[in-house]
Structure 1
Amino acid sequence: MPFELDPSNPFFASAAALRQRFAEDAVARDKAGGRPTAQLRLLKESGLLTLLIPKAHGGQGERWSTVLKIVREFAKVDGSLGHLFGYHFSALQAAHLRGTAEQAADIYRRSAAGNWFWGNTANSFSKSLFGQPVADGYVLNGYRPFTSGSHIADYLHVAWEDRDTNLRHFAAIPADRAGIRVEDDWDGIGQRQTGSGRVNYTNVQVHHDEVFRFRVETAEPYQTLTPFQQQSVLLNVFVGSAQGALLAARDYTVETSRPWIDSGVERHVDDPWIKRVYGDLYIKTQAATQLADDAAAALDEAAARGRDLTEAERGRAAIRIAAANVYAGTIALEVTSQIFEVMGARSATNANGFDRFWRNVRIHTLHNPAEYKTRTVGTWFLTGDYPTPGAFR
Structure 2
Amino acid sequence: MGTITVNESTQYLKIASILAQEFAKDAAERDKAGGTAKKQRDALRESGLLNLHIPKEFGGEGQPLSLVLRIVRELAKTDAALGHLYGYHVFQTVLPHIAGTAKQKEYFYTQSAKNNWFWGNSSNPIEPSLIGKRQDDGFIVNGHNTFSTGAKDSDRLAITWYDNPEKTTFYLGIISTSREGITINDDWDGIGQRQTDSGSVIFENVVVEADEVIDFTESKGTPFATFDAILSQIVLANVFVGSAEGALEEAKKYTIEKSRPWYLTSYEKAIDDPYIQRSYGEFWIDIQAAVQLVEEAGKKVDEAWAKDRLLTKEERGETALLTGAANAFGTKVALHVTSNIFQVMGARSATRKNNFDRFWRNVRTHSLHNPIEYKRKNIGHWVLTGEYPTPTVYS
Matched residue of 2:187: which SS? Answer: coil
1:293-312 correspondence runs (5 A): 293-312=295-314
1:51 aligns with 2:34: no
Measured in 2, the distance between the counterparts of 1:257 and 1:211 equals: 57
Post-superposition shift, 1:272? 0.5
Residues 238 and 329 of structure 1 are in contact (CA less than 8 Å); yes or no, is this contact kept in structure 2? yes
Are residues 1:375 and 2:377 paired? yes
Opposite residue 287 of structure 2, the aligned amino acid is T
Partner residue in 2 for 1:141? 142
Are positions 1:119 and 2:120 aligned together?
yes
Q: Distance in 2 between matches of 1:63 and 1:346?
A: 43
Between the aligned partners of 1:22 and 1:207, the Cα distance in structure 2 is 37
- Which of the residues 218, 223, 230 maps onto 2:220? 218
CA contact (8 A) 1:136 1:208 kept: yes
Task: Describe how 1:16-55 pairs up with structure 2 within 5 A.
Answer: 16-55=17-56
Please state how far the C-alpha of 1:126 moved relative to its aligned partner. Answer: 1.8
Structure 2 counterparts to residues 1-393 of structure 1, below 5 A = 9-163=10-164, 166-214=168-216, 218-393=220-395
Equivalent residue letter for 1:386: Y
Mapped contact 2:54–2:61 kept (Cα < 8 A): yes
Partner SS state of residue 157, structure 2: strand
Take 1:7 and 1:216, find their aligned partners in 2: how far apart are those partners?
33
Deviation at 1:263, TM superposition (A): 2.0
Offset of residue 127 of structure 1: 2.3
* Distance in 1 between residues matched to 2:265 and 2:239, nearest whole Å: 35
Distance apart, 1:215 and its partner CA = 6.7
Deviation of 1:195 (Å): 1.0
Residues 126 and 145 of structure 1 are in contact (CA less than 8 Å); yes or no, is this contact kept in structure 2?
Answer: no
How far off its partner does 1:99 sit? 1.1
**Residue 136 of structure 1: CA displacement?**
3.4
The answer (yes or no) to whether the contact 1:302–1:309 under 8 Å persists in 2 is yes
Q: Which digits, 9 at most, give the CA deviation of each residue in 1:274-305, with x for residues without a partner?
A: 10000011000110110111111121111111
Conserved in 2, the CA contact under 8 Å of 1:170 and 1:214? no
Kindly provide the amino acid, as one letter, of the partner of residue 177 in structure 2: A
Tell me what 2:3 maps to: none
> 1:217: Cα distance to partner?
10
Which segments of structure 1 move beyond 6 Å, counting only runs of 4 or more?
Answer: 5-8
Partner amino acid, structure 2, of 1:305: K
Paired residue secondary structure (1:225): helix
Aligned residue type for 1:161: Y
- Give the TM-score taking structure 2 as reference length: 0.96
The answer on whether the counterparts of 2:131 and 2:141 sit within 8 Å (CA) in structure 1 is yes
Q: How many residues are paired up?
A: 389
CA–CA separation in structure 1 for the residues paired with 2:362 and 2:7: 26
AA paired with 2:204? T
Distance 1:160 1:145 in 2: 14
Q: Is the 8 A contact 2:99 2:219 kept in 1?
A: no
Amino acid at match of 1:338: N
Per the normalisation by structure 1, the TM-score is 0.97
Cα contact 1:7–1:13 (8 A) shared by 2: no
Counterpart-to-counterpart distance in 2, 1:365 and 1:52:
25
Q: Secondary structure at the match of 1:84?
A: helix
CA distance in 1, matches of 2:93, 2:352: 36
1:249 is paired with a residue whose SS is helix
Q: Secondary structure at the match of 2:351?
A: coil
